[in-house]
Chain A
Amino acid sequence: MSGQSVSLHAYLPFLIDGVWVTLQITFAAMALAVPVAFLLAAGRMSSWRVVRLAAGFVIELFRGTSAVVQLFWAFYVLPLFGITLSPMAAGILVLGLNEGSFFSEVVRASLKSIVVGQREACVALHLPRRYAFWRIILPQALPVMIPPFGNALVLMLKFTALVSLVTVQDLSFRADQIRTALGVSGEIYGVVLMIYFALALVLAGAVALLERQAARWAGRPVPALLPWLRAHASPVPRWALGR
């Protein structure tokens, strides 16, 4: 970095480049997390005990230990076994597997949430199991998964900050560089927090649009736009607050 200017102009382009890296990692890790979640959920529901145990082990491994440890492990230990990943690849791998493990429980719960009656109707109509799953159960489970999927996406965005710890040049890493190289104080992190929050709002809004689309497709009532604004309503009636 050249120049000692501490004005926003000086470091903003550098930060914006970091935003792209952050978004890239978010989406790449999510692209890994979703199939991983479905695979693990399928594994947990398998009729083979071995498969159930294996899927359970992977989920437990990633849910039970800290993501920071997993990240360091991928960065420092995997190379010892001859697997050398770029910091970016290591970050995407760990975030994807970690979040995939969490999301697999959501997938499983969504599949289970399809009321018993729908499964029984499939049995009573003697529908082939494959058809029952792909055409009856899954189309109803997918819309149920979208709101938690939106949460997972925002979670992933926040999660990516950790990859700065293994030298990926994302938003967080660049903020750190600016602080040390330019001697600006910690306020830079305030700017970065606001950028993260703005990104989170945009992603949540995009998912809300997706949710409406899916509801229309599945023949369910279409939810109001931007549920995170709707959430401002108080769950307690006014009289119960003594007002």
Chain B
Amino acid sequence: MPGDDRIAATGGRPPMVRMAGVSKAFDGRTVLDAVDFAVRAGEKVTLIGPSGSGKTTILRLAIGLTKPDAGLIEIDGRYLWHEIRAGQLVDAGERHARGVRRVVGMVFQQFNLFPHMTALQNVRDPTIQVLGLTRDEAESRAVELLTQVGLADHMAKRPAQLSGGQQQRVAIARALALRPKVMLFDEVTSALDPELVGEVLRVIRELAHATDMAMLLVTHEISFAEDIADRVLMFDAGRIVEDGPPAQVLKDPTHPRTRQFLRAIIER
């Protein structure tokens, strides 16, 4: 199985997300071209690369927002769009995928908070709906998480009353409340004013150091990536062109496209 080498090389724990030969095209334009990679339980992986190189698509595939044209996606040991029946790998439907992707959480670039709910409701209500928590359990979990991301004083506010940085922190708390095993962060600071980026990165950094979740982050914040990542994947034109620890990929890249990309980022 492609990707196994990587797991063997990094050793240790089982893969939490694995993609093998995954391809995806939109309107005839290839976005991912037979990509193989795996992320182990607890591993923090940063995805970098020019826009349109397929990073965001990887995240969307990992949570089932997008279906691959070809290839296998495995989440926590189960195939996302396939199942094994009588020893045969067969296609599985949306219902099957919904069960498998349950362990994945995602934070979006545009927050996507529910505007008609307060911060507290945004964090609390999904846990009632999805995990079947009682109202009290859900509420105390939500309060705890909102306090953790520094929003104890803003729980009764609607998203429109919060700054972008505060909204994004609510969104992080909302995703965490479902206790995912994998968290996906899709350029979560790109839509923020520069002075609000720090507070969101701080929350994620603390999270990365404190939890055992696997994390996949698409980001352009290179120093942040260097700080929290165990591994950096460099994407270019739908392929992974470089894969290694941040000290190597970010400081001493081997691939010319990586060098080019990093130079452009620094000169920005």
Contacts and interface: CB of A to CB of B under 8 A. Distances in A.
Nearest to A130: B129
6 contacts: A123-B64, A124-B63, A124-B65, A124-B175, A126-B102, A140-B115
Contact of A125 (B110, B116, B160, B174): B174
Nearest to B129: A131
Interface in B172-189: 174-175, 178
Given A136-B114, A140-B116, A124 B108 contact: yes
Interface stretch (A5-13, A103-111, A113-121): A113-121
Nearest to B115: A219
Contacts of A139: 116
B9 interface: no
B130 interface: yes
Interface string A82-115: 0000000000000000000000000000000000
A128 B130 contact: yes
Contacts of B108: 117, 120-121, 124
A54 interface: no
Interface string A201-222: 0000000000000000111100
A218 B115 contact: yes
Contacts of A218: 115-116
Given A121-B114, A124-B175, A125-B174, A219 B126 contact: no
A131 B160 CA distance: 22
A135 B114 CA distance: 10
A4 to B, nearest CB: 62
B40 interface: no
Interface in A111-164: 117-118, 120-121, 123-128, 131, 135-136, 139-140
Contacts of A117: 108, 110, 112
Chain B interface size, under 10 / 10 to 19 / 20 to 34 / 35 or more: 20 to 34
A198 to B, nearest CB: 35
Contacts of A124: 63, 65, 104-106, 108, 175
Of the candidates A123, A128, A139, A140, the one having the most CB atoms from chain B within 10 angstroms of its own CB is: A123
Contacts of A136: 114
A110 B195 CA distance: 35
B129 A128 contact: yes
A47 to B, nearest CB: 10
Interface in A11-30: none
A217 B159 CA distance: 14
Given A140-B116, A218-B115, A220-B115, A125 B178 contact: yes
